[in-house]
Structure 1
Amino acid sequence: MDRIVITNQKGESITLGNQAPYFLETIDGVGEVPVAIESQKAPKQDGSTYLDNMLDNRAISIEGTIITKIDPAFVLEARRKMQRVLNPKLGEVTITYHQRDQVREIKGLAETTPVFPGGQGSKGLYYQKFLLHLLCHQPFWLDTFYESREMSYLMGGIKFKLILPTVFSYRGFKRRAVNEGDVATPVEIEFKGPATNPTVNNLTTGEFIKVNRELGEEDVLTINTAFGQKYVRINGQNAFHYIDLDSVFWQLVPGENTLSYRSNNDSIKTRVTVKWKNRYVGL
């Protein structure tokens, strides 16, 4: 049985599945998502010329029933908890979808507070139907890594087993990174000094990010390449003004990517970590 966990930004969550009190009946919108197609048309042209396409927001609708066989008051308590978790004023919730051995997550905002129909057959002493409508502005489902995000490492010239996210250890080191998702995905880069003018390349796309700054042994450079969330920080402070003007906030293309880093400092203490989440167009 599929199971859905909805968690708000306060950490409070509800689980919809095949156990009381929240029984999941149907969920729509997890697979399909509308596509906005861009095209242009010239005078006297038959048809049009295709330019590009973008995925629209993902709309998810969930139907289910609150059921209790012990105390009718539990129905009201379950309703109140659902309203607290899906309070739109708290911002986006995280929707985690457990489907057999596959687990994916997406963020969404409740378009309305939970709907509790009052018609015949929709509510009773020990049950209450519910409807949830969520809008996901970022339409992609993401992997959930949790502990598997912990970086592997190299120490004393000995190579240990690689566990994603990928980690580099030497100046000019190359590493293969595989994006198993359906679309390009942004990365988070952590560069631990010492380093001079650190540069991280995606050799597959020919793009690089370079920071014109010297990093000491205690300095940590962090970079995020996500659209609308880009940042460059050194020890948590904004360092966007150190970015080389030819830099590109590159992403991992689907499939295999070859990454490398360069520095004008040959220290073996330098560490570079690149991490990401695969993105999927549907379940």
Structure 2
Amino acid sequence: MEQVTYVSDNGLIIVFDEVGPYLLSSIDTMGVGSTEDSDMSIGGIYNTYATGYDQRSVPIEVAILGGDKRGWFDLGNLQQMKQKLANTIDLNYQGTLTYENDTGAYSLRGRFLEIPAGFDRIGSYEKFSLTFQSTENPKWKERSDRVVRMGAVLGGLSFPLVIDPTFTFGTYTTEFAVINDTYDNLPVRIVVMGTAESVTITNQTTGQFMQFNRAITSAQQLEVDTERGTAVINSAITGQLIENASHYLTLDSDYWYLQRGRNVINLDGGGQTTKPLGYMFWRKQFGGV
């Protein structure tokens, strides 16, 4: 099973699959697009110290299944489907491309490069090519977030689970372990709900931390995105933005990433009686799928 879904920022959606009316013939999810080398002069000799790719090109071969009307080919229906496709891949907008197969679902942000030449003359079942190119992180990401709760009162006799170490009944803990089994350091998104005198989120494995010198009330939540390097205070009731929180971050703080392997994370509310709760979200990313 293979399916490609494109959700444009203009609000339109198109799905290519084996059923139609937008048929998926093939897709290259391994192409890496353009490569870029970074060179440094050492003793007058240039040496490459980093190599990577800044964009990913995803060629897709598709066809449109034209409708029929009373046993006759319906040209009007085909034209409507072509117009919908053209409106969805509007080059003025970018969007999210999601690829699904038997192993999972993976997404990529970007835009289509062009409307195919001779698009108006393409007929029913006639194959043509589209090229999607990444505009942000060039690696595929899992479509769905992985999530772990930050701060909890643990009940029961013991909890081996994925939380380390084992805790006994009635213990409040703000420390937990996350395993990053990929080859990349992964950004995280964190939501912390009050109350807290201040908020410090530490990756004890690396020693990096994010300390926000601002109190969080029970009606507020702090949302941090380490990939974009942003932090905001939102209403916990309506979700509306209250204020930018980046200027509350201490100068010695870092918007840290999950390192490869085991990461021990700690959430601190800045006081002996404050016990904030929260959630940490992340996604695996892949060079090819």
TM-score for the superposition, normalised by structure 1:
0.82
TM-aligned CA deviation for residue 162 of structure 1: 7.0
Report if the CA contact (8 A) 1:192-1:217 is conserved.
yes
Q: Percent identity?
A: 23
Report the Cα distance in structure 1 between the residues aligned to 2:272 and 2:33, rounded to whole angstroms. Answer: 48
* Residue from 70, 89, 93 that aligns with 1:86: 89
Alignment of 1:221-232 (within 5 A): 221-226=222-227, 229-232=228-231
Please list every run of 5 or more consecutive structure 2 residues that lacks an aligned counterpart in the other structure. Answer: 69-73, 164-169, 235-240
TM-aligned CA deviation for residue 161 of structure 1: 9.8
Give the direction of change, closer, same or farther, for the CA distance of 1:269–1:43 in structure 2 (3 Å limit): closer
Partner of 2:166: none
Letter in 2 for 1:38: S
Report the Cα distance in structure 2 between the residues aligned to 1:263 and 1:170, rounded to whole angstroms. Answer: 16
Give CA-to-partner distance per residue, 1:102-160, whole Å, 9 cap, x none. 21011111211344457xxx844x444332122202201111226x65x6577654278
SS in 2 for 1:233: strand
Report if the CA contact (8 A) 1:67-1:75 is conserved.
yes
For the pair 1:243 / 2:249, whether they are aligned, the reply is: yes
Range with greater deviation from structure 2 (196-205 or 127-136): 127-136
* Residue from 129, 132, 135 that aligns with 1:131: 129
SS in 2 for 1:79: helix
TM-aligned CA deviation for residue 86 of structure 1: 0.4
* Residue from 155, 158, 175 that aligns with 1:158: 155
SS in 2 for 1:106: strand
Range with greater deviation from structure 2 (23-32 or 251-260): 23-32
Partner of 2:238: none
TM-aligned CA deviation for residue 179 of structure 1: 2.6
Report if the CA contact (8 A) 1:62-1:131 is conserved.
yes
TM-aligned CA deviation for residue 80 of structure 1: 0.7
SS in 2 for 1:77: helix
TM-aligned CA deviation for residue 67 of structure 1: 2.2
Give the direction of change, closer, same or farther, for the CA distance of 1:161–1:73 in structure 2 (3 Å limit): farther
Report if the CA contact (8 A) 2:189-2:281 is conserved.
yes
Partner of 1:183: 184
Report the Cα distance in structure 2 between the residues aligned to 1:63 and 1:135, rounded to whole angstroms. Answer: 14
Letter in 2 for 1:88: L
Give CA-to-partner distance per residue, 1:33-92, whole Å, 9 cap, x none. 4432222244575xx433223321111221221123522322211111101110122x21
Letter in 2 for 1:129: K
Alignment of 1:183-202 (within 5 A): 183-202=184-203
What is the count of residue pairs matched by the alignment? Answer: 268
TM-score for the superposition, normalised by structure 2:
0.80
Give CA-to-partner distance per residue, 1:171-192, whole Å, 9 cap, x none. 7721111234432221111121
Please list every run of 5 or more consecutive structure 1 residues that lacks an aligned counterpart in the other structure. Answer: none
SS in 1 for 2:48: strand
SS in 1 for 2:115: coil
For the pair 1:263 / 2:264, whether they are aligned, the reply is: no
Report if the CA contact (8 A) 1:170-1:271 is conserved.
no
Letter in 1 for 2:57: A
For the pair 1:233 / 2:232, whether they are aligned, the reply is: yes
Range with greater deviation from structure 2 (103-112 or 256-265): 256-265
Letter in 1 for 2:287: V
TM-aligned CA deviation for residue 3 of structure 1: 1.3
Report if the CA contact (8 A) 1:189-1:222 is conserved.
yes
* Residue from 54, 58, 61 that aligns with 1:60: 58
RMSD of aligned C-alpha atoms?
3.0
